[in-house]
Each structure stands twice: as C-alpha cells, then as structure tokens.
C-alpha cells in the first residue's frame, strides 16, 4: 500500500524546513530494502542544519522520484529531536522515473543531492536536463546576481550555491563590487552554511582592492585561513599582493612573499607588478627600480611576457613627480627602443612640464626635439603659451640661443603677441652665448614692436660685455687690459652703427648699455692693473689719469648719440656721464646739454657740479647754480606774498609758516658742498656766502658751524667801512628829480 505522497518542491521546503533529509534522500534514490533509516541517519535529524550543510556539499543536478508519479515521503519529523523521527516507506518494484515537475531540478538541486547509480541504471529513460540547458540556467542566475540591488536577499535566495560562487569569481577582480562581494560571502557562510574555502576567502581578499578595503582586513583573513588550517592557493596570495599595492603595508607584503617562498610558489609577473606598485606607494624608489630591472631582464628572453606599458607609465609619472627625471627619461628611452611599444602624448606632456618645473634642461631639450618640433615639422604636441615661456626662460638660463629662436618662431607663427618677458629671455640667451650683436638686434626688434626696453632689460647685455672684455683680458697679457676692453667695446659700437643702417634708429637703451659697459670695464681694467702692480703710487696716479680718459671716451661716444638715436639721449644717459666725469668743464657741458634737451638736473647732479666748481672750478658758476636753487624758493615766496596782499594781512602769518615749511622741503646742497663753497668764498672774500647762509638757514640747514670752521673761528659778518660822513648807503633818485649838468655846475 502506497503511503501519502508529498511533492518535494521549493514551496514545500519553505513551509516545512524540518523534513527528514535522510528519508528524502532514500525516497529519491528509490531503495526498496532501505525503507527505515539507520541509527546513523537518525542522528542527523538532531542537527537538521548540519545535515543540510553536509548534504549541500554534494553536487547534484536534479532530483528524481519513483514511477508512482512523484517523490513521496511517508512521514516527516514533527520536531527537531532525533527520537521523534518517523520511518519512511517507498513502493517496491517501481521502474519508471521522471522529474517532479518543470524546473524543479534547478530549485531542489541547491540541496546538492546526488541520485544513486542504481536508479539511473534502473531507469535509462530518465529525462535529465542537457548540459546546454544547465549552462544557460547558470548564466541567467549569475546575471541576475550581478544586476541585483542591495540588500540582494531575494536574488541570493533564488540562486544556487554554484551560481553564487560563479558570481563571486566574476566580481573578485572588480574593486567597485566591494559591498556586493561582502554580502554574497556573508550569505554563503551564514545562510547556506558553506564551509570556509580558499576560493571564498580569495574573493574576500581581492575585494579589499576597493578604497574602502584595508591591509588589516587582508591580514585578518590570512590569519583565519591559517587558524583553520586552510591552505592558501597561489591565486589567493597574488590577490593579497594586489590589495597591498593599493593599501601599502611593508611588513605584511614581506610576510606574504616569505610565505610564498616557503611554499615554493613562484612569483608571477602579475605579482611582481603588484609588488612594484606597492614599493612605489611606500616611497622605496630604489627597490622599485631594481625590481623593474629584474622584470625587464626577464622579459628580454624569448617567449617571456613583456612588462605592461601602463606600469612603465606609472613609473614615469611617479619618478617625474619626485624629481628623478633621469630615471624617468631612461624608462621612456627604453620604451622607444622596445618593439611594439610607444609613449603616449600625456607622458610626453608630463615630462615637458616636469623638466621645466625641475630645471632639467637636458631632459627638456630631449623632449622638445622629440615631440614638439622634430625636424622642423608641426610636432606631436603643441605647448601652451605659458609652457613655451617657461621653456624660453630655461633656454635663457642655459644660454641655448637655438632653442630660444625656435620658441620665438613658434609663438610668432601662432600669432602670439610677444611681450617684454619673451624678448628679455632672448636677450639673456644671446648675451650668455656671447652674441652681443644679436642681443642688440633684439633690442631694436623690441623698439620697433612698440616695447620700450629699460635699464633692467639690458642687464644681460651689460654682463655679456663685461665678460667679453674679461675674456679678452685673460687671453692676453695683464698690461694689455685696456686694449682688451677697447676691442670689446669697439665691437659693440660697430654693431650699433650697423643696426642703425638696418633699422634706421637704435633704441637709447642699447646706447646706454654700451656706454655703461665701457665705463665699468675700463675701471675694472685699471683696478686689476693697480692690484697686481708693485708700484702702487704710480699706478694710482695713472688710474686717476685714466679716469679722465674714461670721461673723455664717454663724451666722445656721447657726441654720436643724435646720429644713432634721433630721439636724443635720456636722463639715464646723463646719469652715466655724470658718474664718469669729475672735471668742472665736463660737468658744466653736461648741464647745458640737459637744458637743451629740456631735462631738469637732479639734485645730485647740481650738488656735484657746485662741489667741483667750488673746489677747483669757477666760483661764480658754483654760486650761480646755488642762486638758481634759491630763486625757485624766492619765486614761490613772491607768489605767496602777492596772494597775501590780495587776501589781506590776516593770513600773512599762516602764509609765512607755510612758506617756511615749503622751503624746508626744497632740495639743497649737501654739507660737503656747503663747506667747500664756504671755504672758497672766505678765501676769496666773497660776501655772497652770507646770502647762501641765510637761504640755508631758511631751509632748516644752518651753516654757522661750517662758516666758523672755514673762517677759523670768526663767524661775524663784515660790516661796510664807515667814513667821516657815516656809513655810506645807496639813495634812490628818480630820473625826473635827477639834477642836470648845468645845475650840478652851479652847485
């Protein structure tokens, strides 16, 4: 008699989870003589979860039943206790088998049941699913898991264990699936009661490549494997090294490498790449370079796997950022020599920028000639205007005029408006290269472009002229220093006249820098000869004579200023000439020249002229310059007096105070000049010094002490001599009241 039949499907297992797994196994196996479970089977009922866990480890594609139409269980346990299980009875003599119902195999198969070989041989007509259908079902389940949204419970419950494992294998190399991998693994361990395996822990280890992962988590997982006596696979250790490349841990990496060495696990190229990345992250650049050398040497053998190009890019970026540009350039050069490899434009642009920032001129020229303007072509990359200016400055610092000319040509071709920094860099390049004529030509180009060069822009030319004179001096005898300076300056003057013919005019800045270099180089030559000569007194005397000669040479060059510069000299020109001249005749000439060009002399110039004239020049000329200074103050005083008359006498006191304050702010001669002037006037008994003294007192600079020292202690003013009629004084007689000649005779 057949017992009650219960269809074993997914719904039944959900409603009655305490089914006797042993009875179900015997039912699907169809054993006639094994209707009652043995004591060993009954013991499994005490721990249904463990029984399910053990059975789940047996893979089975489906579940089959007897010929009565479905698998049946005579009775099921009421409670979870072992003594309350009931026996299961099966029909005898059944030969035909079939599936429980459509698609039941995929759902029941999660138990991992396996039908006995006797049933399969007893019923050769069993309708089992084909391998293609099973593969399709597996792919659908894995696809559903990969597309699932948190918390993934519904998809995990509907999927088989093998599908979950397959999904983990596909997700373990995707760092963004960190949370998904953790959820799947937790479900297998907690819900499916899966035993910890190396494959499961490998997925957990590799998931820590995510930014939320950590090296501590990897260390904990490896410790659990060690405590559980689970042997790690080479893939698991490679995954650990991959995680340590993202989350560096020097101690743990060495421990993993030592473990692999102890187990005779070979470190593959993937592992070497991970170790190299970890060393770069740790800042151990020397060890990273040594490892790269080992990988490159191993890859040079025939049939060996080459070093990945992206790893070499990372090496270039890291080493370039840290300033190891020589090593980065060697790696790039190695890639260019390697077959089938090329360097991306991003790497070239990075190297160009890094060489500019680090001041690596050799690398800069190498990259520029490679990718910017190779062989006069258009180039692979086009640097920005800012980067081109940086490269131009680098060329200026190293004196590479050819590279500077290429950059200027490139900027002009793209229509960039050249400004002062571009031309100053060009000047620096030509000056360092010793091409003074080209540097002066650049000044002319600046002038024609509407850019007015100043004294600061001509400093490279000044230094270039000084260095050229020094080089000529060193190449000859010490006594021919003057001739060396003359030769260097004459070449610069010749360049000025040739540029005048080419461009029509020369900027005054070019004339001034040649004049300044001529004066400075001659003075240096005289000082060098004086320092090395034994006859110091005669040399000093000759140096003073050479100073006059320098002034004459400077004035001789100044006579050509209108010929070279039609606009005339500038104030800087006269300052240079005043610095070189000491003779009163030359200084008076320069004052007249400044007046002809509508330049007002500076107070330093006036003070120098007054001092030189008062010392060994014309006293009248010196006093005239002082009276000119006084006249400016007197003119303002007269203007204020006229305004007081118009406004009334009430404002006279305030106006006088304001005028006195304005006089104190007026420029005046120095103490040295005042002492020289006072001494000269007292020696020549010139009373005009008292007028100067009054004016100096009004300006807050009394000369009492100076006059006392100059007069030898007497500071009283000399009074007019008195006669028998008293002190003579002038009488103003008008023309109308003046006596005629006849009246005078009558009287």
Helix (H, G, I), strand (E, B) or coil at 730: coil
Residue in the block written with tokens 């020094």: 470
For the chain, how long is the longest CA-to-CA vector? 192
Cα–Cα dist 179/392, whole Å: 52
> For 352-356, what is the mean pLDDT?
92
pLDDT of residue 109: 34
Please indicate whether residue 307 or residue 28 has the higher confidence score (pLDDT). Answer: 307
pLDDT in tens, 198-212: 888 888 888 888 888
Please indicate whether residue 501 or residue 114 has the higher confidence score (pLDDT). Answer: 501
pLDDT of residue 244: 92
Within 8 A by CB and 6+ apart from 114, the residues are 58, 59, 60
pLDDT in tens, 43-70: 333 333 333 333 233 333 333 333 333 3
pLDDT of residue 364: 93
Residue 635's pLDDT band (cuts 50, 70, 90): very low
Nearest Cα residue to 165 out of 198, 133, 136: 198
Residue 544's pLDDT band (cuts 50, 70, 90): low
When mean pLDDT is compared across 167-176, 313-322, 631-640, the lowest value belongs to 631-640
Angle value at C-alpha 537, between 531 and 538, nearest 5 degrees: 95
Nearest Cα residue to 453 out of 431, 420, 422, 417: 420
Nearest Cα residue to 233 out of 268, 255, 263: 263
> For 386-399, what is the mean pLDDT?
90
Q: How many helices (H) and strands (E) does the chain have?
A: 38, 0
Average model confidence (pLDDT) across the chain = 74
Q: Return the top range by mean pLDDT from 380-384, 483-487, 633-637.
A: 380-384
With 0-12 CB in 10 A as exposed, 13-18 as middle and 19+ as buried, what is 717? exposed
Gyration radius from the chain CA atoms: 53
Nearest Cα residue to 591 out of 574, 579, 604: 574
> For 678-684, what is the mean pLDDT?
91
Neighbours of 18 (CB within 10 A): 14
Question: What is the CB-side half-sphere exposure of residue 740 using CA atoms within 13 A?
Answer: 2
The pLDDT of residue 740 is above 80: no
Domain locations along the chain? 10-128, 318-417, 424-584, 621-711
pLDDT of residue 522: 78
Please indicate whether residue 302 or residue 741 has the higher confidence score (pLDDT). Answer: 302
Nearest Cα residue to 681 out of 627, 720, 730, 721: 627
pLDDT of residue 183: 81
Cα–Cα dist 280/81, whole Å: 61
When mean pLDDT is compared across 120-134, 231-245, 254-268, 577-591, the lowest value belongs to 120-134
In the numeric block, which tokens belong to residue 65?
Answer: 């039943």
The pLDDT of residue 291 is above 80: yes
Q: Return the top range by mean pLDDT from 68-82, 109-123, 191-205, 671-685.
A: 671-685
pLDDT of residue 271: 92
Phi–psi pair at 422, nearest 5 degrees: -65, -45
What percent of the chain clears pLDDT 70, i.e. is strictly above it? 68
Nearest Cα residue to 508 out of 573, 556, 464: 573
Helix (H, G, I), strand (E, B) or coil at 99: strand
Residue 715's pLDDT band (cuts 50, 70, 90): low
Q: Is the bond preceding 339 in cis, omega lying within 30 degrees of 0?
A: no
pLDDT in tens, 467-518: 877 766 555 554 456 666 778 788 899 999 999 999 989 999 999 999 999 8
Print the SS3 string covering 64-117.
ECCCCCCCCCCCCCCCCCHHHCCCCCCCCCCCCCCECCCCHHHHHHHHCCCCCH
When mean pLDDT is compared across 104-113, 603-612, 674-683, the lowest value belongs to 104-113
pLDDT of residue 704: 87
pLDDT of residue 610: 94
Cα–Cα dist 36/449, whole Å: 111
Cα–Cα dist 228/237, whole Å: 17
pLDDT of residue 605: 92
Helix (H, G, I), strand (E, B) or coil at 554: helix
> For 84-95, what is the mean pLDDT?
33
Question: In this structure, are residues 331 and 363 in contact, taking their beta carbons and an 8 Å threshold?
Answer: no
In the numeric block, which tokens belong to residue 141?
Answer: 């389940």
The pLDDT of residue 380 is above 90: no
When mean pLDDT is compared across 28-37, 85-94, 320-329, 332-341, the lowest value belongs to 85-94
Question: In this structure, are residues 24 and 90 in contact, taking their beta carbons and an 8 Å threshold?
Answer: no
Cβ-count burial 660-669 (b if 16+ within 10 Å, e if not)? eeebeebebb
Please indicate whether residue 538 or residue 444 has the higher confidence score (pLDDT). Answer: 444
Cα–Cα dist 693/47, whole Å: 125
When mean pLDDT is compared across 241-250, 298-307, 464-473, 485-494, the lowest value belongs to 464-473
The pLDDT of residue 7 is above 60: no
Cα–Cα dist 392/356, whole Å: 10
pLDDT of residue 473: 59
Cα–Cα dist 578/571, whole Å: 11
Within 8 A by CB and 6+ apart from 588, the residues are 609, 613, 617, 621
Question: In this structure, are residues 473 and 527 in contact, taking their beta carbons and an 8 Å threshold?
Answer: no
Cα–Cα dist 293/566, whole Å: 67
Question: In this structure, are residues 120 and 126 in contact, taking their beta carbons and an 8 Å threshold?
Answer: yes
Please indicate whether residue 474 or residue 148 has the higher confidence score (pLDDT). Answer: 148
pLDDT of residue 678: 92
> For 395-410, what is the mean pLDDT?
89
Nearest Cα residue to 394 out of 436, 434, 435, 366: 366
pLDDT of residue 178: 78
> For 11-39, what is the mean pLDDT?
50
The pLDDT of residue 293 is above 90: yes
Cβ-count burial 177-202 (b if 16+ within 10 Å, e if not)? bbebbbbbbebbeeebebebeeebbb
pLDDT of residue 642: 42
Cα–Cα dist 192/49, whole Å: 9
Cα–Cα dist 440/458, whole Å: 9
> For 721-725, what is the mean pLDDT?
44
Neighbours of 278 (CB within 10 A): 24
């Amino acid at each position: 008699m057949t017992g009650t039949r219960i269809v074993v499907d997914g719904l039944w297992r959900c409603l009655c989870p305490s089914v006797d797994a042993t009875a179900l196994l015997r039912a699907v196996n169809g054993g006639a003589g094994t209707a009652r479970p043995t004591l060993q089977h009954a013991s499994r009922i005490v721990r249904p979860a463990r029984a399910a866990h053990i059975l789940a480890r047996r893979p089975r594609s489906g579940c089959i039943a007897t010929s009565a139409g479905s698998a049946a269980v005579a009775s099921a346990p009421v409670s979870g206790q072992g003594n309350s299980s009931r026996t299961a009875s099966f029909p005898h003599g059944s030969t035909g088998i079939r599936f429980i119902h459509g698609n039941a195999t995929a759902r029941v198969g999660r138990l991992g049941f396996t039908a006995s070989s006797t049933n399969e041989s007893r019923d050769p007509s069993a309708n089992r699913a084909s391998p293609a259908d099973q593969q399709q079902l597996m792919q659908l389940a894995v696809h559903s898991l990969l597309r699932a949204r948190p918390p993934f419970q519904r998809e995990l419950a509907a999927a088989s264990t093998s599908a979950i494992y397959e999904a983990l294998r596909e997700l373990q190399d995707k760092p963004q699936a960190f949370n998904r991998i953790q959820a799947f693994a937790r479900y297998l361990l907690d819900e499916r009661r899966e035993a910890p395996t190396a494959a499961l822990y490998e997925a957990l280890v590799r998931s820590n490549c995510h930014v939320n992962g950590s090296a501590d988590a990897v260390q904990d997982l490896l410790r659990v494997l060690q405590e559980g006596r689970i042997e790690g696979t080479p893939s698991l250790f490679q995954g650990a090294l991959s995680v340590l490349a993202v989350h560096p841990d020097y101690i743990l990496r060495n421990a993993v490498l030592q473990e692999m060495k102890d187990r005779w696990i070979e470190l593959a190229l993937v592992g070497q790449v991970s170790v190299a990345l970890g060393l770069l992250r740790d800042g151990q650049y020397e060890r990273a370079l040594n490892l790269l050398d080992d990988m490159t040497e191993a890859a040079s053998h025939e049939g060996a796997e080459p070093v990945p190009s992206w790893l070499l890019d990372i090496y270039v970026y890291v080493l370039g950022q840290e300033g190891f540009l020589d090593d980065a350039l060697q790696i790039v050069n190695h890639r260019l020599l390697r077959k089938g490899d090329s360097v991306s434009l991003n790497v070239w642009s990075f190297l160009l920028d890094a060489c500019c920032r680090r001041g690596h001129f050799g690398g800069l020229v190498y990259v520029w000639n490679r990718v910017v303007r190779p062989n006069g072509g258009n180039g692979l990359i086009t640097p920005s205007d800012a980067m081109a200016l940086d490269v131009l400055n680098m060329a200026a610092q190293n004196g590479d005029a050819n590279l500077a000319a290429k950059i200027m040509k490139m900027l002009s071709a793209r229509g960039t408006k050249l400004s002062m920094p571009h031309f100053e860099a060009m000047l620096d390049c030509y000056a360092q290269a010793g091409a003074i004529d080209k540097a002066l030509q650049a000044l002319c180009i600046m002038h024609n472009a509407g850019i007015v060069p100043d004294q600061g822009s001509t400093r490279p030319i000044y230094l270039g002229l000084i260095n050229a004179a020094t080089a000529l001096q060193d190449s000859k005898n010490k006594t021919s220093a003057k001739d060396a300076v003359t030769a260097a300056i004459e070449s610069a003057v010749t360049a000025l006249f040739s540029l005048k013919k080419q461009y029509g005019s020369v900027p005054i800045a070019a004339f001034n820098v040649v004049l300044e270099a001529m004066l400075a180089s001659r003075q240096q030559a005289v000082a060098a000869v004086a320092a090395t000569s034994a006859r110091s007194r005669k040399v000093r005397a000759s140096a003073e004579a050479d100073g006059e000669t320098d002034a004459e040479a400077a004035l001789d060059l100044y006579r050509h200023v209108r010929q070279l510069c039609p606009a005339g000299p500038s104030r800087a020109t006269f300052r240079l000439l005043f610095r070189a001249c000491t003779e009163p005749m030359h200084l008076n000439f320069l004052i007249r020249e400044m007046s002809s060009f509508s330049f007002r002399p500076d107070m330093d110039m006036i003070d120098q002229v007054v001092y030189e004239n008062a010392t060994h020049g014309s006293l009248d000329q010196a006093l005239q310059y002082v009276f000119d200074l006084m006249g400016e103050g007197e003119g303002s005083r007269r203007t204020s007096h006229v305004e007081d008359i118009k406004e009334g006498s009430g404002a006279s006191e305030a106006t006088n105070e304001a005028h006195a304050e304005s006089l104190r702010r007026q420029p005046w001669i120095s103490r040295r000049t005042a002492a020289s002037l006072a001494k000269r006037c007292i020696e020549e008994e010139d009373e005009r010094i008292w007028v100067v003294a009054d004016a100096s007192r009004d300006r807050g600079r009394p000369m009492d002490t100076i006059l006392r020292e100059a007069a030898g202690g007497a500071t009283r003013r000399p009074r007019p001599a008195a006669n028998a009629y008293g002190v003579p004084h002038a009488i103003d007689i008008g023309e109308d009241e003046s006596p005629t000649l006849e009246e005078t005779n009558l009287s």
